[in-house]
């Protein structure tokens, strides 16, 4: 691959996914895109770039983005955000939404589903407190391929051993040979859709909680700021934003403010928030916690 080819790929990835690659990452691009070239029956990466530049390159461009975007994830990853979810976020939202009994959650980088399913299991564990509530989890990702795996909810032994407590594995998964499939009632709690965070997502409606973890680290500063400002427009004024451990809003935007002494947790800044309040929207599956369902 020539330097010009690499520059073209860097520009394409930045425009399509926000991914910023430094000049010394050519080895990474080559390792991930050689299989894509082979699958397309192209002898080398220069031919792959030539195909990308052609009118027939649109589908191939999607495969390139899929191959280059990182899909590292596991159940209850980093633990702290899920402690926040159980101990701070949900109690706060339940008190604030006592009148409507509706909560909307967005997982903005769902990958293969471990994060939204972790939230779904955590919710299922507190069903008794949510009798009669309607809770919606919308999960999005740029990659259609990983979303298909997420919808199926089938994981390897290695995947279920990463972060998933044994009691939840026994309670919510069924083993089939060397794989485990998450229970239908947990899968039904999550609605998946393909979405690029660089594009308009206002039609998703307004959310009470947004998990957007380990995505901003791949963006340059202007793209981070733009993404955060647009996320602020879909978070309820008293809602929450959860970022990854290595991410922050500080120095990027005043649309959010850190929650004191709670790592990775943010709330809209009243001085700059412009949304009109939470809406139920029509996107995604809605789970109703009925009284009968709470008797588990």
Claim to verify: residue 154 and residue 110 sit in the same structural domain: yes
Same structural domain, 168 and 225: yes
Torsion angle in degrees (nearest 10) through CA of 78, 214, 282, 190: -40
Determine whether 254 is an active site residue: no
**Per-residue confidence (pLDDT) for residue 55, from 0 to 100:** 86
Q: Give residue-wise pLDDT tens across range 36-47.
A: 888 889 998 998
pLDDT, tens digit (0-9, with 9 covering 90-100), for 191-211: 999 999 988 899 999 999 999
Between CA 172 and CA 180 the distance in angstroms is 10
Nearest to 104 by CA among 12, 240, 198, 226: 240
Q: What is the mean pLDDT of residues 117-121?
A: 97
Q: What is the pLDDT of residue 70?
A: 63
Q: Do 179 and 283 sit in the same domain of this protein?
A: yes
- In-domain check, residue 183: yes
**What is the tens place of the pLDDT at every residue in 214-242?**
888 888 899 999 999 999 999 999 999 99
| Same domain? 164 vs 191 | yes
pTM: 0.80
Averaged pLDDT of the chain: 87
- Point out the catalytic residue in the list 5, 66, 141, 208: 141
Residue at 213 is within a domain: yes
Q: List the one residue out of 174, 175, 171, 172 whose CA is nearest residue 117.
A: 172
Angle at alpha carbon of residue 255, lines to 253 and 257, rounded to 5°: 90
Instruction: Tell whether 100 and 129 lie within a shared domain.
Output: yes
- Compute the average pLDDT of residues 123-135: 87
- Same domain assignment for residues 13 and 99: no
Query: Are residue 59 and residue 86 in the same domain, yes or no?
Result: no
In a domain, 96, yes or no: yes
Last residue within a domain, chosen from 27, 45, 68: 68
User: Domain limits at 8?
Assistant: 3-68
Active site residue 187: no
Higher pLDDT, 144 or 135: 135
What's the pLDDT band for 30 if we cut at 50, 70, 90?
Answer: confident
Q: pLDDT tens across 42-82, in order?
A: 998 998 999 899 887 888 888 888 787 766 688 999 999 99
At 105 the three-state DSSP class reads: strand
**Angular region, 135: left φ>0, alpha ψ -120 to 50, beta rest:** beta
pLDDT tier, 190 (very low <50, low <70, confident <90, very high otherwise) = very high
Do residues 98 and 54 share a domain? no
My answer on whether 127 and 229 are in the same domain is yes
Q: What is the pLDDT of residue 285?
A: 54
Lowest mean pLDDT among 99-103, 124-128, 244-248: 124-128
The pLDDT of residue 258 is: 94
DSSP for 239-266?
EEEEE-TT---TTT-SSEEEPTT-TTEE
Tell me what pLDDT residue 2 has.
85
Q: What average pLDDT does the segment 258-281 reach? A: 73
Q: Give yes or no for a contact between 104 and 138, defined as CB atoms under 8 angstroms apart.
A: yes
Could you tell me if residue 92 is inside a domain? yes
- CATH number of the domain residue 21 falls in: 1.10.155.10
Predicted confidence (pLDDT) per residue in 159-178, tens digit: 999 889 999 999 999 998 88
Q: Which of 109-113, 138-142, 206-210, 274-278 has the lowest mean pLDDT?
A: 274-278
User: What is the predicted pLDDT for the residue at 295?
Assistant: 33
Domain count, the chain: 2
Boundary (domain end) residue, out of 48, 68, 88: 68
Claim to verify: residue 93 and residue 204 sit in the same structural domain: yes
Is 114 within the bounds of a domain? yes
CA distance 16 to 172: 36
Q: Are residues 43 and 144 located together in one domain of the fold?
A: no
CA distance 163 to 78: 8
CATH label of the domain that carries residue 243: 3.40.50.150
- The answer to whether residues 35 and 91 belong to one domain is no
Q: Which of 68, 96, 111 is the last residue of a domain?
A: 68
pLDDT at 282 over 50: no
Q: Which is higher by pLDDT, 102 or 27?
A: 102
């Amino acid at each position: 691959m020539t330097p010009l080819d690499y520059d073209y790929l860097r520009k394409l990835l930045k425009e399509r996914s926000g991914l910023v690659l430094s000049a010394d990452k050519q080895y990474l691009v080559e390792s991930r895109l050689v299989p894509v070239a082979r699958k397309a029956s192209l002898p080398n990466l220069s031919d792959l770039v030539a195909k990308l530049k052609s009118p027939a390159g649109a589908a191939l461009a999607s495969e390139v983005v899929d191959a280059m975007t990182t899909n590292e994830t596991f159940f209850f990853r980093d633990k702290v955000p899920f402690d926040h979810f159980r101990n701070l976020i949900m109690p706060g939202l339940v008190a604030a939404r006592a009148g409507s009994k509706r909560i909307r959650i967005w997982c903005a980088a769902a990958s293969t589903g471990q994060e939204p399913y972790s939230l779904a299991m955590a919710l299922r564990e507190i069903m008794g407190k949510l009798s009669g509530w309607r809770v919606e989890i919308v999960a999005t990702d740029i990659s259609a391929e990983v979303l298909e795996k997420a919808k199926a909810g089938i994981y390897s032994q290695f995947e279920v051993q990463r972060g998933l407590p044994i009691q939840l594995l026994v309670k919510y998964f069924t083993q089939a040979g060397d794989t485990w499939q998450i229970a239908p009632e947990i899968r039904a709690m999550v609605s998946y859709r393909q979405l690029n965070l660089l594009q308009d997502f206002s039609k998703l409606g307004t959310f009470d909680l947004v998990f957007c973890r380990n995505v901003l680290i791949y963006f340059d500063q202007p793209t981070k700021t733009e993404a955060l400002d647009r996320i602020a427009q879909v978070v309820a004024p008293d809602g929450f934003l959860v970022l990854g451990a290595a991410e922050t809003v500080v120095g990027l935007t005043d649309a959010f403010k850190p929650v004191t002494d709670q790592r990775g947790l943010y709330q809209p800044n009243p001085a700059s928030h412009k949304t009109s309040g939470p809406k139920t929207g029509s996107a995604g599956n809605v789970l109703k916690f009925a009284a009968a369902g709470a008797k588990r």
